Amino acid sequence: MSHSNEKLAVRIRCNAERALLTELFLTPKPGLVDRRNSGAHNDMTLQTFIRSINAISPWFLRFFEWGASNATIAPGECLALIRPIGFECETAMFAATGGINTHKGAIFALGLLSVAAGRAEALRIDITRENLCFMVADFCHGIVGRELGNAGRTRTAGERVYRRYGLSGARGEAESGFATVRRLALPIYDDLLQQGDCENHALMRVLLELLAFNADTNLVSRGGVDGLTFVRDYASNLLLQNPKPASDLLDKLCLFDDALIARNLSPGGSADLLAVTWFLAQLPASKIWTLECVDRHFCKKMNRIVNT
Ligand SMILES: CC(C)(COP(=O)(O)OP(=O)(O)OC[C@H]1O[C@@H](n2cnc3c(N)ncnc32)[C@H](O[C@H]2O[C@H](COP(=O)(O)OP(=O)(O)OP(=O)(O)O)[C@@H](O)[C@H]2O)[C@@H]1O)[C@@H](O)C(=O)NCCC(=O)NCCS
Ligand SMILES: Nc1ncnc2[nH]cnc12
């Protein structure tokens, strides 16, 4: 790899690692491991996650390098070729955590984005949020139907949840090009930072938006649809209250955390999407005017006209 490629590879690896650490240390997070407690988990702690992050971070360099070295392979053929690297990375995670699943979904999401970054660099494509997400969507085209749609034995929580409820989890999110992050999380995060919010407050608000919207298979796996509905309704009500100042939001998030712990509910998938949000937020947005951008731009203009 050229020197500039190597620099970018290291930046992507560092951003993936920082995304996972930023998510982990954000506190309080309802039902999740953070600096306040271990959420709805009796098998993992903050230290477990730190060991996991240290073990898997070097692999994001491997993902990038694979993407850069195999940029001429058709996108639809990439997933089968990078999956073994992902499973090796999972093995490193399990070795570091004593067999506990801390970042399986995060490895999948950030691994795919790291491959996309390496591929974009090699093909001289701008490394933007949209370009990486659309590239991941190309890698994962048809993954839900192929891997979840067949009538085979269900081995994992995600497969069981799909079979019973039709929720596609991490695979569906990747196949959509992280649509939940592109259309919901990132615009809110950008707006809050632009309004002067600190990163932590903006991330807490984004996590609430994700909890209110994301079909998190972890919640369904642990608490059924009722568990997912409880979390969505609680998060939606908290957003409607729009607690101010920030100290009031923190107090209410602690109550939310206690409520999920009492119900053994942990939104691990939403935590992953928060990390993906932070990772993508470090990249520039494409200059393309998608319909969503146009709609948001003119809504803002209209609000300014109406409010002046
Ligand atoms: C593609 C796979 C990763 C799919 O694996 P699986 O068949 O298990 O499918 P899912 O359950 O749908 O997804 C696995 C994890 O993805 C996260 N997730 C869940 N819902 C969503 C969503 N709507 N959007 C995005 N991501 C989602 C979630 O991961 C996080 O939670 C886990 C920790 O929480 P915990 O409750 O402890 O989880 P468990 O231990 O499973 O439950 P308990 O026993 O404790 O109750 C942790 O993984 C977080 O990351 C889902 O768990 C897989 O098939 C695969 O291909 N993997 C290897 C290949 C790879 O990684 N390749 C990289 C480049 S291709
Ligand atoms: N902080 C966290 N706690 C529990 N599960 C998670 N999955 C990803 N991040 C997590």
User: Does ligand 2 have an atom closer than 6 angstroms to the CB of 82?
Assistant: no
Going 124 to 188 to 261 to 15, the CA torsion angle's sign is: positive
Asked if omega into 75 is within 30° of 0 (cis), the reply is no
CA angle at 19 for the pair 12 and 213, rounded to the nearest 5°: 120
At residue 243, what are phi and psi to the nearest 5 degrees? -60, 135
What residues line ligand 1, using a CB cutoff of 6 Å? Answer: 79, 82-83, 86-87, 90, 101-108, 111-112, 156-159, 169-171, 173, 214-218, 222, 266, 268-269, 272-273
- What ipTM, to 2 d.p.? 0.93
Ligand 2 center to residue 103 CA distance, Å? 7
Ligand 2 center to residue 32 CA distance, Å? 5
**Ligand 1 atom with minimal separation from the 173 CA:** 24
Ligand 2 center to residue 134 CA distance, Å? 25
Q: How far apart are CA 217 and CA 265, in angstroms?
A: 11
Q: Closest residue (by CA) to atom 7 of ligand 2?
A: 268
Chain CA centroid to CA 176, Å: 13
pTM over 0.80: yes
Q: How far apart are CA 257 and CA 260, in angstroms?
A: 5
Q: Closest residue (by CA) to atom 7 of ligand 1?
A: 158
The pLDDT value recorded for residue 254 is 98
Contact 255, 238 (CB under 8 A): no
User: Does ligand 2 have an atom closer than 6 angstroms to the CB of 19?
Assistant: no
Residue of 266, 274, 276, 278 to mutate, ligand 2, most atoms within 8 A of C-beta: 266
Other residues' Cβ atoms within 10 Å of the Cβ of residue 183: 16
Short-list 206, 177, 195, CA closest to 277: 206
User: Does ligand 2 have an atom closer than 6 angstroms to the CB of 266?
Assistant: yes
The pLDDT value recorded for residue 293 is 61
User: Does ligand 2 have an atom closer than 6 angstroms to the CB of 272?
Assistant: yes
Ligand 2 center to residue 24 CA distance, Å? 7
The pLDDT value recorded for residue 179 is 98
Ligand nearest to the CA of 104: 1
The pLDDT value recorded for residue 30 is 98
Q: Closest residue (by CA) to atom 5 of ligand 1?
A: 158
User: Does ligand 2 have an atom closer than 6 angstroms to the CB of 221?
Assistant: no
Q: How far apart are CA 59 and CA 303, in angstroms?
A: 45
pLDDT tens track of the chain, all 308 residues? 777 788 889 999 999 999 999 999 999 999 999 999 999 999 999 999 999 999 999 999 999 999 999 999 999 999 999 999 999 999 999 999 999 999 999 999 999 999 999 999 999 999 999 999 999 999 999 999 999 987 777 788 899 999 999 999 999 999 999 999 999 999 999 999 999 999 999 999 999 999 999 999 999 999 999 999 999 999 999 999 988 878 899 999 999 999 999 999 999 999 999 999 999 999 999 876 656 566 666 666 666 666 66
User: Does ligand 2 have an atom closer than 6 angstroms to the CB of 261?
Assistant: no
